[in-house]
Amino acid sequence: MTLRDAIDLAFRNLRQAKLRTFLTTLGVSIGIASLAGMVSLGVGLQDQTVGRLQRSGLFDAVTVLPGGDRPGVMMGGRLGPRGFGRRGDPGAPAAAPDRVERDINDQALADLAALEHVRDVYPALRIPVEMKYGGESEFALAAAVPVSVRGEGAFQSMTYGRFFASDAEIACMVSLDLAKRIDEKAPGALVGRSLTLNYAAVTPTGVPQRTEFACPIVGVVERETGPFAAAAGVSPLMLPMGKAREMYAASAIAAPGVSRGTSGPRPYGSAVVRVTAAQFVPDVQERIKRMGFNAYSVGDSIQGIKRAFILLDIILSLIGSIALAVSSLGIMNTMVMSILERTREIGIMKAIGGSDGDIRRIFLIEASAIGFLGGVAGVILGWGVGRAINFGANIYVEQQGGAAGNLFSLPFWLIGGAIGFSIAVSLLAGSYPAARAARLDPIQALRHD
């Protein structure tokens, strides 16, 4: 008997008992719906928290500081307490005596960018500027923002306007706080207007002078985001990385003392290395340390969060499995009934040459067909119920002032897994009835009415 024939025969049998097939399949689909719904809730909650944390840009970042013993040098630019903890400092740890301790200059940035799994490298910069708007003026530390962080954290949703188009653009973004200080009633109207920025620079000949330029506001964002903002405090004013580096370089020469006795541009206080995926962070961090820098990362707290969610997933799927266990008993019951009803037919099939294996195969195919149909229906049902709950929950969340999100997430692996699991459970539930059918004694089966 070919597989094709066995499948035809099995589906014929299922069609023969439409109501029973429908009810059994419905039972399976409810079981799968509850299981898929629970896992989907777990995945959704995980996406809501872990996903949000990952998009914050905190977990794939390594903060790089110059080599040597420089505790707490987290602030960029001139703010960092520089000038102590030099090479050969007797207080430095002797762990790696032959280690080259390096400054973070342009060459260092290029070397860091060449590391495997590194996606982006940029200096962490804070430029002191004087902002002038209308008749007002205030000092601020402008944050340098690379275009590569577009889509991270608060930059995902600009409150007004847009993100920087390129690192070389002459433009600025302001925080919503600052925008409201400037124009309480219509902070969005700032987009398109300009701020006048005034900063300290030196001429090539070394004469200090204030430099001023008009900076068009392209966007308003709720707050600055990123690893550096988390460490150094958020800044109300954001500049593109290119302009910020130019401003830093121009002001740098004014303080030659901070470069470690070497000539050339002043090194950066710290840099941020962005890694392609969070799991590479420890490895990249270690290699950066071996290059002669100090390196820090937020650590593996995200791993702990993930572990907690795996536990939550397991608990939710156990709850969901109860319904599936009940429906698998339904399959078993249906199959046993069906075999009882078709005992004579099984006897006939055996009498005309059907082997035990043929009979078993027909019933196993029937069971897996119920599993497949129930699985597909269950995923659809689970998805529908999830959407409905999500809709209701979001109304409540928004009333409470929160942001709407997807509590349920139904990735492709979950769809495929749920259907596959449904087939597997059905096969398991059908294996006993199928074995019983295969073992039937043909003579007794033929006498059966």
Please identify, using beta-carbon distances, which residue of 162 and 439 lies nearer to another protein. 439
The binder of another protein chosen from 116, 283, 341, 356 (CB under 8 A): 356
Q: Determine if 358 is a binding residue for another protein (CB under 8 A).
A: yes
The binder of another protein chosen from 52, 290, 307, 344 (CB under 8 A): 344
Residues pairing with 272 in the sheet: 63, 122
The binder of another protein chosen from 261, 353, 399, 401 (CB under 8 A): 353
**Site mask for another protein (CB under 8 A), range 136-165, x = bound:** ------------------------------
**Alpha carbons 438 and 29: distance in angstroms, whole number:** 27
Q: Determine if 347 is a binding residue for another protein (CB under 8 A).
A: yes
Considering the complex, what minimum distance in angstroms separates the CB of residue 373 from another protein? 21
Q: Determine if 193 is a binding residue for another protein (CB under 8 A).
A: no
The binder of another protein chosen from 184, 352, 399, 400 (CB under 8 A): 352
CB 347 within 8 A of CB 59: no
Considering the complex, what minimum distance in angstroms separates the CB of residue 392 from another protein? 47
For residue 344, what are its two tokens?
A: 């004579």
Considering the complex, what minimum distance in angstroms separates the CB of residue 366 from another protein? 14
CB 136 within 8 A of CB 240: no
Q: Determine if 20 is a binding residue for another protein (CB under 8 A).
A: no
User: Residue 301: CB partners within 8 Å, gap ≥ 6?
Assistant: none
Please identify, using beta-carbon distances, which residue of 70 and 350 lies nearer to another protein. 350
**Alpha carbons 149 and 164: distance in angstroms, whole number:** 10
Please identify, using beta-carbon distances, which residue of 203 and 355 lies nearer to another protein. 355
Considering the complex, what minimum distance in angstroms separates the CB of residue 16 from another protein? 5
Please identify, using beta-carbon distances, which residue of 376 and 446 lies nearer to another protein. 446
Q: Determine if 341 is a binding residue for another protein (CB under 8 A).
A: no
Q: Determine if 354 is a binding residue for another protein (CB under 8 A).
A: yes
Considering the complex, what minimum distance in angstroms separates the CB of residue 14 from another protein? 12
The binder of another protein chosen from 2, 205, 399, 400 (CB under 8 A): 2
Q: How is the beta sheet containing 271-275 ordered, strand by strand?
A: 118-123, 271-275, 61-65, 294-297
Residues pairing with 260 in the sheet: none
**Site mask for another protein (CB under 8 A), range 412-441, x = bound:** -----------------------------x
**Alpha carbons 59 and 212: distance in angstroms, whole number:** 37
Q: Determine if 1 is a binding residue for another protein (CB under 8 A).
A: yes
Residues that bind another protein (CB under 8 A): 1-2, 5, 9, 12, 16, 344-345, 347-358, 441-443, 446
